[in-house]
Structure 1
Amino acid sequence: MKVEEAITQRHSTRAFTDQKISEDQIRKIISLAQLAPSWVNSQPAHVYAATGTTLELIRQRQANAVRTGAASKTEVPTVSRSSFPKEKQDNMAKWYASIPDAIGSEWQKYNNDAALKLYNAQLILYLTLPKNHAEWSMFDLGLFADNILLAAKEQGLDSMTAYYLVMYPQILRETLPISKNERIIVGIALGYKQDDATINGITSEREPVDDVLTVVK
């Protein structure tokens, strides 16, 4: 698979099959992710790969937390959508408006049901950074994460990054050996896409290139 194919074919997948992912696949994906650029070679990222019984425990505990209305708070602060510039809010609104046309009026129920099951992912990668990390480290982690998405796609795997995956950091800390000196940044769900799942019909458009590119000669 060419890089362009991996980029254009990758999209957020919200329903995966039960097919397992081998440890060899995990190691290959992370080894490729490690080739991302890193400020002064600091290589700040650490990855906790949850699969098997450990992932099922996280899935069950988080579902219980959601059902009981437990408050959630990620370790990376979120901001209100209303705080974004108007043109970015317009992007969000356009996307939300397109979903019912794609998968029907009950899309929110489909989405909530899928999220409650952590999208039936067979592997979730939790990415951390050292606490008090340099601001550049967040950029490094973004590059590292994108390499994960593309390397996974090259292996026939699809992916989902979501707030939902890290909304209960205490559950993750009680289940995974995450050091108190690390900060949980993002989760990436991986698996084989369930082709007949309605929820996987959600897609999004990107702004015209001319809206994001300024060429100065």
Structure 2
Amino acid sequence: MEVKQAIQKRHSVRHFTDQKIDSKQLKEMIGIAQKAPSWVNSQPQKVYVAQGETLEAIRKQQQELAITGAKTNSDIPPMSRKRWSEQAQKNMAEWSHGIPAVLGDNWQETLGKEASQLYNAQAVVYLTLPKGYTPWSLFDLGAFSQNILLATTEQGIDSIVAYNFVKYPQILREELNIPSDEEIIVGIGLGFEDEQAQVNRITSKRMDTESILKIKK
């Protein structure tokens, strides 16, 4: 699979099958992702992968907290949609308004259920940065994350990047032994798409290239 094909094929999968992922294959994909650019070769990121019993423990604890209505406290707090740009809010609204056509009137309940189960991901990759990281390190981590997504797609593994993976960092620190001097930035769920699941038919549109691009000669 060419890079262009991997980019076009990858999409957010919201329900995975129970098929397991080979840990050796994951390690190889992380190694490939390390080829991402890094500011002065600083390589600030750390990678923690949860599978098997560890992932099930995380899943169970998050479900229990969600049931009790526990407040989320991710290391990077989410921002209200109202604080985003007008264009960003428009894009978000168009995406949200299209979901009921796929899932029906109870779409919020359906998405909430999948999120509480961590989308049945068979592995979750958690990426951290040292506290006090610079914006350049955040850029590095974005490039590193994209390399993971493309490398796994090339191997036939599906993915989703979601806030739900990192909204209870206290659980992750305990289960994965993540030290307090690292901030948990993002979680990437991996597995194999359940092609029968209706939630996997949700799509998103990208803006016309002309609306974001300026070329000056």
Instruction: Trace 1:116-195 onto structure 2 (pairs within 5 A).
Output: 116-195=116-195
Alignment of 1:65-144 (within 5 A): 65-144=65-144
What's the secondary structure of 2:21's corresponding residue? coil
Cα distance between partner residues in 1 of 2:64 and 2:42: 38
Structure 1 window deviating more from structure 2 (191-200 vs 104-113): it is: 104-113
- Partner in structure 1 of residue 31 of structure 2: 31
> Aligned AA for 1:122?
Q
Superposition pairs for residues 192-211 of structure 1, below 5 Å? Answer: 192-211=192-211
The unaligned stretches of length 5 or more in structure 1 are none
| Matches of 1:198 and 1:110, distance apart in 2 | 10
Structure 1 Cα separation of the partners of residues 43 and 54 of structure 2: 26
The CA deviation at 1:105 is 2.3
Task: Please state how far the C-alpha of 1:137 moved relative to its aligned partner.
Answer: 0.1
Deviations 1:44-77 (A, max 9, x none): 1111000000000000000000001111111012
Aligned to 1:58: 58
If the length of structure 2 is used for normalisation, what is the TM-score? Answer: 0.98
Quick one: percent identity of the two aligned structures? 51
1:4 is aligned with what amino acid?
Answer: K
Aligned residues: 217
Distance, in Å, in 2 between the alignment partners of 1:71 and 1:51 is: 25
Secondary structure, aligned partner of 2:125: strand
Q: Secondary structure at the match of 2:99?
A: helix
Deviation readout 1:170-207 (Å, 9 max, x if unpaired): 01111111111111000000000000001111110000
Helix, strand or coil for the counterpart of 1:188? strand
Distance 1:83 1:133 in 2: 23
**After TM superposition, where is structure 1 displaced by more than 4 Å over at least 4 residues in a row?**
none
Which amino acid counterpart does residue 3 of structure 1 have in structure 2? V
What letter corresponds to residue 57 of structure 1 in structure 2? Answer: A
Shift of 1:106: 2.1
